[in-house]
Amino acid sequence: MNLILALIVLTIVILVHEFGHFIVCKLSGVLVEEFAIGFGPKLFSIKGKETEYSVRAFLIGGYVKPLGEDQEVDHPRALNNAKVYKRILMVLMGPVMNFVLAIIIMMGIGYFIGFGTNIIGKVEPNMPAYEAGIRSGDRIVALDKNRVYVWDQVSFYLAVHNMLYKDREVEIKVLRDGKQYTFRVMPKYDPNTKTKRIGVSSKISRKNLFDSIYYGIFGTYAEIKETIYSVVLMITGKVSGSEIMGPVGMVKTIGEAANAGFKQSVLSGLLNVLWLMQLISVNLGVINLIPFPALDGSRLVFYLYEAVARKPFNREKEALIHTIGFVLLLFLLVIVTFNDIKNIIMPGR
């Protein structure tokens, strides 16, 4: 059951991503030879009017194969003959569709279940926020000059702040009765939660269409920023690379979230799965924009070079770079899969 749920989630996220590439190719008149879900040996395929739709053995990933993607092809509908702005749009639309999927899911969750606004609902007495002068009804607009739109940003920022800094105050800007106030708050260790806290909770919005649209857009924006920041923390060594999750870890996490929810109700289980789906979708969109060979971000760099230099990068060299990148990604996949298995067998080590 866990494996089936995970495959459904990953397949939907990948389908949405690849559809973004596919639809721009179609609208631009580019001939698409294959639309594939997964990699490796072909399990089955359906031949359309001009595109082959296939499902392959390893359902982690997928691709759209336009004619002339990595080589010069003398065909009027080859990708290499399309205007460079169309190719840039084709690359960008995959990640953009992932962000759109996340926005739609978060809008639904925000409307039916509710979400934390950036308005403080409760301030605990004798906690740092109360002692600093923060009160219920204050709207948090910035944390250390970082703009705040939804409560998810407050939780994430305070968690990262506590991880990076042992004894450092947080500058909190709030709106109260139309006026802006600034407070400096030192997080306090709570033995009950075993974390540092400032003692505030959010006002929840529920069944409000405009609020849920706001949450879908700005909640997704916040997660994009958080994902980028997490990648930066990992690259700079401030977060362990062992925390990267691979396909096995995703299956485990999705299964655990679903099981925990299903113990309460079917709706809770589905909501947990949807929440993870939008999180994976945002991460896939952001990671694909990294300028690493074989990822969308790398192709975007080559197309931007062509737009500025007014000539394409050497196609053979570009194809070689993408091939090397693909091999490195497969190697990374093996490493993170091994790490996932290790964490399952020996958790906490």
Where on the phi/psi map is residue 57: left (φ > 0), alpha (ψ -120 to 50), or beta?
A: alpha
Given the residues 18, 69, 223, 318, select the one marked as catalytic: 18
Q: Is 223 a catalytic residue?
A: no
Residues catalogued as catalytic: 18
